[in-house]
Amino acid sequence: MQMSSSILFASSNKNKYEEAKNIVSKFGLKLEFLKSNLQEIQADNLEDIARHKAMQAFSICSKPVIVEDDGLFIKSLNEFPGPYSSFVFDTIGTKGILRLVSKPRDASFRSIIAYCEEDGNVHLFSADVKGRISKKEQGVKWGFDPIFIPSGKNKSYSEIVEKNQISHRYLALKKFANWYLNKRRSHDQ
């Protein structure tokens, strides 16, 4: 099997792609955008959703491809919205979440990177960042970034300049990049 020098990133979200592209470039990898509206199955865990999307993306392009799925898990809401984060963001947004959250405000953000390079063969890489939900929106960016404050910080993801070095997406992409580069090195030997 020939290793690709660039990997497709399948998503309908250009912001997510730009963030991922910036992150993996630090590891010497190149991402290309595969704009796609992949079916998001309803499942109780991110792994099943990401796996399904990766297989669907591969069936579209027949090239090495990654997808990323993430979720915001809020302790006081019994880990809601979790795998339903996209739907919840589209329907009630950050303001709706802020109205729902009570004490404790503990939360975590989880990212799943799903890589597929051949039909049915998906590798998953996950990472969590613990934190809390702010009392109001802080900063302006996309998704739940304005209301998530990672542990050890006083600012939301939206306000943190170094977000791409500490986020759940960074940590999951770092795991993927290390695995992929090791695989390439062993293939090239």
> Active site residue: 69, 106, 128, 145, which one?
69
If you search the block for the tokens 């399948």, which residue do you land on?
Answer: 10
Question: Which has the closest alpha carbon to 64: 8, 112, 17?
Answer: 8
Contact 167, 108 (CB under 8 A): no
What are the Cα distances from residue 128, in Å, to 67, 113, 167, 177, 183? 17, 12, 8, 17, 24
> Which residues make beta-bridge pairs with 126?
112
48 labelled catalytic: no
Question: Which has the closest alpha carbon to 137: 157, 151, 110?
Answer: 157
Which positions are catalytic?
A: 69
